[in-house]
Structures are given as structure tokens and as C-alpha cells.
Chain A
Amino acid sequence: SQQGEEDPQALSIQEGENATMNCSYKTSINNLQWYRQNSGRGLVHLILIRSNEREKHSGRLRVTLDTSKKSSSLLITASRAADTASYFCATARISSGSARQLTFGSGTQLTVLP
């Protein structure tokens, strides 16, 4: 079963615009991660935010986490055509002191038009 739900399911924007994707989850977590997947390929880790953090930045990426609302958002600024991909949030549950299993959401398909 998938714990996270991304919103929107699909997003189409022009190059240079910002893209925001949201993720909601159900259980208490150790951390939340965002991954990117190009068509037909494996997933690539983008950024991790721990449950005691509220915001994190990495290059053009900004992630927020609201544990009271069990939600996270991923912002990609100044998007490029090469950002076209599926983006997944993944939650690591608190389990035996170590977040051993990641549960993925259903993903947001981002298309950046040149």
C-alpha cells in the first residue's frame, strides 16, 4: 500500500516558472524524502527532510514539512525542460530506531515546456 499521496497528479508549466508539488501521508515518520524518476528509469534521491525540520533547501529545490498536517511540499524554482520527470515523496516510518522501509506516494508527473 502507498502511504503518500502527491498532488497534483500532473503538472505542466513553462520553462522558468516555479513548480510546486504536495505530498500528504498518514503515519508518524522519521523523515520524508523526495525522489525523481525519468521515464523508464530508476529513481534518484533529491532531498531529505527530518521530522524535526520544517524547511530545507538544495540548489533550486525547497522542501517544507508540516508534521501536524502530515504534509510536505517540494518547490522547484526557475524550472528547466530537463526537470521534466515524475516526482515521488517517500516516507520513512519510525521503526525499531531506524527508518528501514520507505513508502512511496503515487507521484506527480511534471512537464516543463520549453
Chain B
Amino acid sequence: DTGVSQDPRHKITKRGQNVTFRCDPISEHNRLYWYRQTLGQGPEFLTYFQNEAQLEKSRLLSDRFSAERPKGSFSTLEIQRTEQGDSAMYLCASSGDSSGANVLTFGAGSRLTVL
């Protein structure tokens, strides 16, 4: 297993277009997270899945954002009608430790630029 994979690594789009990011977590991890990070800031929590169930969503996740994790494996994050304020790095992370400590393994991120 090569860790958490994210695709695409970079996406440039025009305002109003839809974009979709994919995350492939570590295969044995049952928890998957999406975070957003803007320049000079720490990651901000967007949403969290345990297996295929979306258990928590941040208020940052507006109606234009939707995330899925069918079959509890890979996940997609879709942004509809993109706005310039959506420009950020979108980070996916997975976790599977049974201790409850929740150490996250991050992917390299998908950088979105909305023109």
C-alpha cells in the first residue's frame, strides 16, 4: 500500500464550473476525512466518514459541496458552481487505529485554483 492517494494534484477551473476530487485511503483504514487548507493557515475540517457513513459535516461545507464514500473505500469531494473563494488545497486523510487516538495519514492534497 502506497499511502493515501489524491487525484488530481492540481486543478484550474473557471468560476461556475464543477470539480471533483478523488481520494484513495489506506485500504485497511475505516475512517476518511476531508480538510481544506488555504495559504498560511492550518487545515480546516470539512467532513468525516466511517466506512460508507458520513458521520460529521462542518458548517464550512455549503450546499455546493458534496462528499461520498461508496462501499467504504475511495471517496469523492465535488464542488458545484465553483467560486474564487473555493481556491485552496483539499486534503484527504485516513485513520484506522483501534486505540481511538485517531492519528491521521494525509495524502499530498489536491490544489484547486478558481479563475
Q: A residues within 8 Å of B by Cβ?
A: 1-2, 4, 30-31, 33, 35, 40-45, 48, 50, 88, 90, 92, 97-107
Contacts and interface: CB of A to CB of B under 8 A. Distances in A.
A98 B95 CA distance: 12
30 contacts: A2-B42, A4-B42, A31-B101, A31-B102, A33-B103, A35-B104, A35-B106, A40-B109, A40-B111, A41-B108, A42-B91, A42-B106, A42-B109, A43-B43, A43-B104, A45-B105, A48-B101, A97-B100, A98-B100, A99-B102, A100-B48, A100-B50, A100-B102, A101-B45, A104-B35, A104-B42, A104-B43, A105-B42, A106-B40, A107-B42
A105 B41 CA distance: 8
B56 interface: yes
A4 to B, nearest CB: 8
Contacts of B103: 33, 45, 48
B42 A106 contact: yes
Interface residues of B, number: 27
A53 to B, nearest CB: 12
A40 B107 CA distance: 11
Contacts of B48: 100-101
Contact of A100 (B41, B55, B106, B111): B55
B4 interface: yes
A45 B93 CA distance: 11
A101 B54 CA distance: 13
Contacts of A97: 100
Given A42-B107, A42-B108, A101-B48, A50 B42 contact: no
A24 to B, nearest CB: 13
A36 B45 CA distance: 17
Q: Which of B4, B55, B100, B108 has the most CB of A within 10 A?
A: B100
Interface string B1-23: 00010000000000000000000
